[in-house]
Amino acid sequence: MTDNRTQPAMAADDNGFEELSFAELFEQEENNTVINVGEVAIGTVVDINNDAVLIDVGDKAESYISLSEFRHEDPDREIQIGDEFEVFIEKRKDEGGLLLSREKAIAIKVWEQIAQIQEEDGTIEGRIDNRVKGGMSVDIGVPAFLPYSQIDLRPVKDLDSLIGETFEFKILKFNRKRNNVVISRRAILEEQRAKMREQMRTSLEEGQTIRGAITNITDYGLFIDLGGMDGLCHITDLSWGRVSHPSKLYTVGEEIEVKILKYDKDSDRVSLGVKQLKSDPWERVPEQYPPGVQVTGKVVSITDYGVFVELEEGVEGLVHISEMSWSKKPRHPSKVVSVGDEIAVQVLNVEADTKRISLGMKQLQPNPWDVVEESYPVGAVIEGKIKNITDFGIFIGIEEGIDGLIHVSDLSWTERIKHPSEKYTKGDTIQAVVLKIDKENERFSLGVKQLEPDPWQAAASNYPIGSTVEGTITNVTDFGVFVQLEEGIEGLVHVSEISRDKVKTPVGMFHVDDTLQAMVINVSADDRKIGLSIKAIEEKDDNDGAMPEDYTQKQSTGPSTLGDLLKAAATEDGDSDKS
């Protein structure tokens, strides 16, 4: 009996097919059915359509995998029949065949890679997909979480600009069971920065010129990344000129050239400057802007007292409000110019030590005060409208920008005017006489009373000493009685001249508006005073109409003014009291 186990199961038939032993057939069957669920196997592409790839993993049935699961493959390489890929066996289908996944096969490999990378402190490449709560979602083969604080060394303003970008990341922590991975880009940047800082510490020197990127802008200056460490450029070191805010000149991310002003190696503090890359413009100001030269500048600031004009970067001058116009006196400089205006000015004075330049605008226009003396000589009569009324006088408009003042004391020879508004109204047209022109102080003095003769100039001839006059009592005081002889002309009867009998006070003896006769005993037109006496009339009558000798002596040697007369009378009273 022949042992079939030692004989070939099949022999070569007439068609040439090789006969296989039973053991070989069993082994072949085993090779076709060793695929287990939950394992990763090598699959071969046997067909491709628009949506899926047909994969043969050596099992009895071939299985399709969606093309979307191959998105991690090299984009420059097209999937072709015969390509081999690792795939994950998810399950056997009830109807036969396998459920395969390329993504899960990759994930298993990625998780192994993640564990190894974290252990070796390595990096993994990933693409930022989208924004999520608290950070960004990154595809590193599996979804990973990138917190906001780990994106960059500094906060990123435009996070959407990072979507689609690919970077290297560090693995901070992961949990395979929860499919949770936390990654960091900042950790890589910090390592790079630390290496660069070490290099800079040996190469950075004061006075060195270097380029850097602006990382932050504040009210007081710019923070600049020099490539390993940050430096501060204070606002005062940005420009030789005025800088209202650094953001007016620079933007975050901009690369600029700076000079190392100071480097503290112990604290790694670096002070930077931009303006120091240029020479100080004030070194040539005295030669470039001598007094009298006319220049053009831009208004950069306006204050209550004037405007600052930039003549060039770093060089500013002040136009004081008093130097803006010959005629108009603006309430505020902003009524004349605005910030940003280009204006012509004249240099008035330069103080290079204190970096001050005085400028003028009105000097470029004809000075109306240069011709006012010729147009309005002293003594000329002018006519104008009242522009303003004050306690001390009236302002009259002479011509554009020039006003004349009529002081209250020059309104009338005779009237006692407490306030000009008692007699005049704003807008009235009046005539006046030019009294004085002060060109340096820009003052134009006028008078109304000068249009008529001064009645006091005729007082000496109208009221000769020894003449008897009659007037109306206007005031009674302890020291005498005031008598109006005519409008604007008053005389005083001193208490000592009321009677030959001693009178302590005339109050009660005389009343306002009563008529009184008296003799003129003294006249002073310059002091605008007339001395009167009732007593002298009585003595003249006793002397047969002749002027009493005492009054003749007083006239020739005695007091010349009413004030002197009063002093003399007081002295006489004192002498009589002693006797």
pLDDT, tens digit, 9 for 90 and up, residues 389-403:
999 999 998 877 788
Which CA distances in Å does 334 have to 327, 362, 364?
Answer: 17, 16, 19
pLDDT of residue 61: 65
480 compared with 200, residue with greater pLDDT:
480
Q: What percent of the chain has pLDDT over 70?
A: 85
Locate 201 and state its tokens. 């510490």
> Three-state SS across 245-282?
CHHHCCCCCCEEEEEEEEEECCCCEEEEECHHHCCCHH
pLDDT of residue 41: 81
pLDDT of residue 17: 39
Closest CA to 52 of 43, 64, 69: 64
Question: Cβ(43)–Cβ(87) under 8 Å?
Answer: yes
DSSP 456: G
292 compared with 202, residue with greater pLDDT:
292
Q: What percent of the chain has pLDDT over 90?
A: 29
DSSP 299-328: EEEEETTEEEEEEETTEEEEEEGGGS-SS-
* CA dist., res. 215 & res. 186, Å (int): 15
DSSP 376: S
Locate 48 and state its tokens. 């491709």
pLDDT of residue 576: 44
pLDDT of residue 365: 85
Query: In the beta sheet, which residues pair with residue 434?
Result: 446
Asked whether residue 360 carries a pLDDT value surpassing 70, the answer given is yes
Which residue blocks in 94-235 are alpha helix, DSSP H? 102-120, 186-203
| Residues 208-235, mean pLDDT to the nearest whole number | 89
Query: In the beta sheet, which residues pair with residue 395?
Result: 388, 405
Cα of first residue to Cα of last residue in the chain, in angstroms, is: 196
Q: Residue 287 contacts by C-beta under 8 Å, 6 or more apart in sequence?
A: none
**pTM for this one?**
0.44
CA atoms within 13 A on the CB side of 346: 12
pLDDT of residue 476: 92
Question: Cβ(493)–Cβ(483) under 8 Å?
Answer: yes
> Which region holds residue 306: left if phi is over 0, alpha if psi is between -120 and 50, else beta?
left
The type of residue at 362 is K
From 149-153, 198-202, 336-340, 529-533, the region with the lowest mean pLDDT: 198-202
pLDDT of residue 198: 78
Highest mean pLDDT among 54-68, 296-310, 530-544: 296-310
Asked whether residue 6 carries a pLDDT value surpassing 50, the answer given is no
Band (480; pLDDT cuts 50, 70, 90): very high
All structural domains of the chain = 33-104 (2.40.50.140), 204-277 (2.40.50.140), 282-364 (2.40.50.140), 369-451 (2.40.50.140), 456-578 (2.40.50.140)
Question: Cβ(521)–Cβ(561) under 8 Å?
Answer: no
Highest mean pLDDT among 21-35, 148-162, 217-231, 298-312: 298-312
Closest CA to 448 of 488, 413, 416, 402: 413
pLDDT averaged over the chain?
Answer: 82
Question: Cβ(494)–Cβ(531) under 8 Å?
Answer: yes
Q: What are phi and psi of 24, to 5 degrees?
A: -70, -40
* CA dist., res. 323 & res. 347, Å (int): 11
Band (488; pLDDT cuts 50, 70, 90): confident
The type of residue at 56 is D
C-alpha 419, offset from chain centre = 45
61 compared with 298, residue with greater pLDDT:
298
pLDDT of residue 26: 45
4 compared with 229, residue with greater pLDDT:
229
Locate 53 and state its tokens. 């790839």
pLDDT of residue 106: 79
* CA dist., res. 394 & res. 384, Å (int): 11
pLDDT of residue 550: 58
Locate 363 and state its tokens. 């000097």
| Residues 536-548, mean pLDDT to the nearest whole number | 70
From 14-18, 250-254, 277-281, the region with the lowest mean pLDDT: 14-18
- Report how many helices (DSSP H) and strands (DSSP E) the chain contains, helices first: 9, 30
Angle CA 16–20–23, to nearest 5 = 175
Band (422; pLDDT cuts 50, 70, 90): confident
Band (341; pLDDT cuts 50, 70, 90): very high
Band (281; pLDDT cuts 50, 70, 90): confident
Q: How many CB atoms within 10 Å of residue 518?
A: 26
Which CA distances in Å does 308 have to 243, 321, 360?
Answer: 13, 11, 11
Closest CA to 169 of 202, 197, 198, 136: 136
Asked whether residue 537 carries a pLDDT value surpassing 90, the answer given is no
C-alpha R_g of the chain: 56
Strand 84-92's sheet: what is its strand order? Answer: 63-66, 52-56, 40-48, 84-92, 98-101
* CA dist., res. 137 & res. 104, Å (int): 18
| Residues 296-322, mean pLDDT to the nearest whole number | 92
Helices 535-542 and 549-557, interaxial angle, to 10°? 120
Query: If you count them, how many residues does the chain have?
Result: 579
* CA dist., res. 324 & res. 318, Å (int): 11
Would you call 299 exposed, middle or buried from its count of C-beta atoms within 10 A (0-12, 13-18, 19+)? buried
> Three-state SS across 67-91?
HHHHCCCCCCCCCCCCCEEEEEEEE
Locate 235 and state its tokens. 């606002």
From 11-25, 195-209, 448-462, 522-536, the region with the lowest mean pLDDT: 11-25
* CA dist., res. 543 & res. 124, Å (int): 140
* CA dist., res. 103 & res. 66, Å (int): 10
Q: Which tens digits make up the pLDDT trace of 31-88?
A: 444 577 777 788 888 888 888 888 888 766 678 888 887 876 766 778 888 888 888 8
